[in-house]
């Protein structure tokens, strides 16, 4: 986790040292990413050899968490290697990675937004990634829809999933460590944006504006 935190610190501070970013990206790929991949293969083998029951389910849960960690790490490595991509491109690549790893139907309508400040692009991407990882972890959703729109004044992103009601209208009751919800709210406030969570017509809805 130390290497992952190092990459996040570098991106947060928008270092201009390209060679240093690339070096850390290589280190992350050659060490942590490879270890996560190997653990995933070991889990797959253990699951295949396990009988149905609590032990097998525990292995399945571990495998799912490793997959989500792998997605997050790949995104960090990609940002270190190339932090000049547009937000819509980053989001599209994130959704493609999620689709490959999870049996989830994803519908995406992604407008190509106008210029967003580099620091806000990275911050917004991390917020969206946290929301999507929470859906994968807590919602048990079978489908998810992502809609990105922008006019001359603001950007709006709506993420909807058909999973169970894991949301709470009172944000103060949410365990910040469990859901990471407080963190994304604070991150959006720092960028001058907003994020809200609601339950409507049997769906969980996250609305982000910037």
* Spatial distance between the Cα atoms of 97 and 82, rounded to a whole number of angstroms: 17
Final residue of a structural domain among 56, 83, 110 = 83
Same domain, 110 and 55: no
Query: Cα–chain-centroid distance for residue 105?
Result: 16
Residue 2 belongs to domain spanning: 1-83
Q: What is the pLDDT of residues 113-122, one digit of tens each?
A: 666 777 788 7
Same domain, 136 and 78: no
Residues 6+ apart with CB under 8 A from 67: 40, 101, 102
Least confident among 22-26, 60-64, 129-133: 22-26
One-character DSSP codes across 117-166? -HHHHHHHHHHHHHHHHHIIIII--SEEEEEEEE-SS-EEEEEEE-S---
Contact of 101 with 133, CB cutoff 8 Å: no
Final residue of a structural domain among 21, 54, 83 = 83
Same domain, 79 and 109: no
Q: What is the mean pLDDT of the chain?
A: 77
Same domain, 64 and 98: no
Classify 170 as helix, strand or coil: coil
Same domain, 76 and 137: no
Same domain, 70 and 104: no
The CA-CA-CA angle for residues 51, 52, 55, to 5°, reads 80
Higher pLDDT, 53 or 10: 53
In the prediction, which pLDDT does 195 show? Answer: 94
Same domain, 113 and 43: no
Final residue of a structural domain among 48, 83, 118 = 83
Tally of structural domains, the chain: 2
* Spatial distance between the Cα atoms of 75 and 69, rounded to a whole number of angstroms: 10
Q: Which residue has the tokens 């992350």?
A: 28
Q: Which residue has the tokens 């106008």?
A: 114
* Spatial distance between the Cα atoms of 124 and 11, rounded to a whole number of angstroms: 13
Nearest of 108, 127, 112, 107 to residue 186 by alpha carbon: 127
Same domain, 35 and 105: no
* pTM of the predicted protein model: 0.64
Residues 6+ apart with CB under 8 A from 184: 127, 130, 131, 195
């Amino acid at each position: 986790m130390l290497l992952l935190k190092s990459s996040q610190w570098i991106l947060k501070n928008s270092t201009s040292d390209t060679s240093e970013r690339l070096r850390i990206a290589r280190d992350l790929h050659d060490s942590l990413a490879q270890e996560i991949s190997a653990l995933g293969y070991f889990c797959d083998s253990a699951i295949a050899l396990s009988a149905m029951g609590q032990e097998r389910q525990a292995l399945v849960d571990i495998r799912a968490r490793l997959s989500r960690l792998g997605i997050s790490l790949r995104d960090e490595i990609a940002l270190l290697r190339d932090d000049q991509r547009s937000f819509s491109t980053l989001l599209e690549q994130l959704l493609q990675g999620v689709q490959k790893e999870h049996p989830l139907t994803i519908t995406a309508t992604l407008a190509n937004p106008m210029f967003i400040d580099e620091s806000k692009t990275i911050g917004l991407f991390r917020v969206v990634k946290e929301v999507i990882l929470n859906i994968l972890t807590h919602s048990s959703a079978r489908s998810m829809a992502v809609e990105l729109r922008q006019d001359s004044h603001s950007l709006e992103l709506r993420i909807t999933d058909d999973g169970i009601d894991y949301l709470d209208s009172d944000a103060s009751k949410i365990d910040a460590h469990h859901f990471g919800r407080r963190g994304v709210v604070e991150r959006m406030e720092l960028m001058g944006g907003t994020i809200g969570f609601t339950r409507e017509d049997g769906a969980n809805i996250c609305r982000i504006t910037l």
